[in-house]
């Protein structure tokens, strides 16, 4: 049975001729550059953030008017090809967040003034929520979706070197090593993501309709990227808050529960945040089963911002303690990656792999707000073909291995030798580049923040009602723990949301 059920755990499924996983931003930006050059009719971008000064091929020196700045590339393409419709729809971020980004993307409006590029800031979310979808669609024929925005502090290679002069920003500062993952699809799956963009644009621009691009032929798939999977169904799952008469869309939250319940051998989670009691309790239930799956979590050692350290890191600490308490059979591991010299790598990716059958890449964090308060989008595939399942396993093993400076093949061999993904990491992690996540020491304020999930509402109903949030989260987690199946757990969630 599939866990990808349109109208329940996903929005829709659509066919793709090809799909590929792009590990780290060097791979993503290179593929974006190639795809942009092949665009014939439309370039559509959704983002949490966007900086037109972002260089797709940084070289260690950031000077004025670099020809590889993405804003310059888009303007030149739009001017050279009048038939090319270029639209960027980016979240109109709150002042504290935009200030941390030198007031980009707000300044990008001036960048694109008097150019053919249509740049808009989207504020059509509840107060305190954000648009967090990261999607790029070329000609409705090729699409990227995942956790990465196009920004000046995002570029890195899969090596995450300590000394990397190309991690440079416009004022000559060097940013921290960073890990991102994107997924690339073509065919009907790409067109479906184009439909997602057009609906977002209609809402943001007060009903302005954007027609799908006319078919101009061509193949924008980057020549240098081999497809990982071919001829497959791709599911698109979303989160949208209940707002202005629109119902809550919680496909990603439901998909999380369904995948956790169906996993047999190993649950691999790679995510920036881990604060959802609902997901935590579902994992705890599986860890308590004698023959349940392993659970391996990779996250950032410490959030880069003070606010996230106060909120997300402290709430994550309580989740880690809960899973360690539930791990009576020794199948849970939580790590953060570092460079060879010990610098923390920012894990911004949002990836989950369940056994060798289900792979998901998107924008949603494993926190409360990604399940019902922000807008999110992710792609998911479920495969039963033996060759495709080997590809999903190789994708996961490569992710795990690259954090330790190892190949995916080394991880695969260690899994076979030592009896699982967790034991394989224990055996290969000789340099300690994957360090265990330790919950932070809690003050009284920290305990309050963690208990009430400050800054991490579950949906619009509890966004400014802390007592309601805590009680609802507690009830959901308790009843999910008592549910005997994924379907029952999902019904519990829906009943609680109606109450």
Q: 307: cis peptide before it, omega within 30°? A: no
Contact 293, 355 (CB under 8 A): yes
What are the tens digits of pLDDT across the range 101-113?
A: 777 888 899 999 9
Mean pLDDT on 211-230 = 97
Question: Which has the minimum average pLDDT: 43-47, 285-289, 419-423, 453-457?
Answer: 453-457
Topology agreement, domain 12-232 and domain 245-498: yes
Average pLDDT over the chain, rounded to an integer:
92
Contact 199, 177 (CB under 8 A): no
CA distance 51 to 341: 30
Mean pLDDT on 276-302 = 96
Tokens of 426: 């224990």
What are the tens digits of pLDDT across the range 353-365?
A: 999 999 999 999 9
Contact 179, 348 (CB under 8 A): yes
CA distance 189 to 140: 9
Query: Domain ranges in the chain?
Result: 12-232, 245-498
Give the CATH H-level superfamily of domain 245-498.
Answer: Endonuclease Chain A (3.30.870.10)
- What is the CATH architecture assignment of 12-232? 2-Layer Sandwich (3.30)
Taking the CA atoms of residue 219, residue 222, residue 225 and residue 228 in that order, the dihedral angle to the nearest 10 degrees is: -40
pLDDT band for 480, please (50, 70, 90 cuts): low
Contact 305, 407 (CB under 8 A): no
Query: What crossing angle do the helices spanning 277-287 and 314-326 adopt, rounded to 10°?
Result: 20
For the question of whether the overall pTM of this predicted structure is more than 0.75, the answer is yes
CA distance 300 to 376: 20
What are the tens digits of pLDDT across the range 105-160?
A: 888 999 999 999 999 999 999 999 999 999 999 999 999 999 999 999 999 999 99
CA distance 29 to 158: 13
């Amino acid at each position: 049975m599939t866990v990808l059920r349109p109208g329940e755990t996903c929005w829709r499924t659509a066919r793709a001729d090809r799909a590929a996983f792009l590990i780290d931003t060097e791979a993503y930006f290179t593929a974006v550059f190639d795809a942009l050059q092949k665009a014939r009719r439309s370039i559509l971008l959704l983002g949490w953030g966007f900086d037109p000064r972002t260089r797709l091929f940084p070289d260690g020196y950031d000077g004025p008017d670099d020809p590889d700045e993405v804003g310059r590339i888009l303007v030149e393409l739009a001017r050279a090809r009048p038939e090319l419709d270029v639209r960027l729809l980016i979240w109109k971020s709150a002042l504290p967040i935009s200030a941390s980004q030198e007031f980009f993307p707000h300044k990008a409006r001036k960048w694109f003034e008097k150019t053919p590029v249509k740049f808009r800031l989207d504020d059509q979310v509840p107060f305190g929520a954000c648009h967090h979808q990261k999607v790029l669609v070329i000609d409705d024929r090729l699409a990227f979706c995942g956790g990465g925005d196009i920004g000046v502090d995002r570029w890195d290679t899969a090596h995450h070197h300590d000394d990397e002069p190309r991690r440079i920003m416009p004022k000559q500062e060097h940013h921290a090593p960073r890990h991102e993952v994107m997924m690339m699809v073509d065919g009907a799956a790409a067109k479906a993501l184009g439909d997602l963009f057009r609906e977002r644009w209609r809402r943001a621009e007060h009903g302005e309709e954007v027609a799908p691009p006319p078919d101009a032929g061509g193949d924008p798939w980057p020549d240098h990227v081999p497809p990982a999977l071919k001829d497959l169904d791709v599911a698109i799952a979303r989160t949208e808050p209940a707002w202005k008469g629109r119902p809550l869309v919680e496909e990603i939250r439901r998909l999380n529960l369904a995948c956790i319940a169906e996993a047999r051998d190993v649950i691999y989670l790679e995510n920036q945040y881990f604060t959802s009691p609902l997901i935590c309790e579902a994992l705890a239930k599986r860890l308590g089963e004698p023959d349940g799956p392993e659970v391996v979590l990779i996250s950032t050692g410490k959030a880069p911002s003070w606010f996230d350290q106060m909120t997300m890191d402290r709430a994550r600490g309580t989740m880690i303690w809960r899973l360690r308490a539930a791990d009576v059979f020794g199948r849970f591991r939580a790590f953060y990656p570092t460079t060879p010299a010990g610098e923390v790598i920012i894990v911004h990716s949002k990836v989950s792999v369940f056994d060798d059958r289900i792979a998901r890449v998107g924008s949603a964090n494993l926190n409360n707000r990604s399940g019902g308060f922000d807008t999110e989008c992710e792609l998911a595939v479920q495969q039963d073909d033996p060759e495709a399942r080997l590809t999903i396993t190789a994708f996961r093993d490569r992710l795990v291995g690259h954090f330790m400076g190892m190949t995916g093949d080394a991880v695969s061999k260690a899994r076979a030798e030592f009896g699982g993904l967790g034991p394989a990491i224990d055996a290969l992690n000789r340099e300690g580049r994957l360090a265990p996540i330790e919950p932070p020491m809690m003050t009284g304020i920290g305990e309050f923040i963690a208990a009430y999930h400050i800054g991490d509402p579950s949906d619009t109903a509890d966004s400014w009602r802390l007592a309601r949030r805590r009680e609802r989260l507690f009830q959901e987690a308790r009843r999910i723990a008592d549910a005997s199946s994924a379907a029952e757990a999902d019904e519990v969630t829906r009943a609680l949301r109606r109450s």
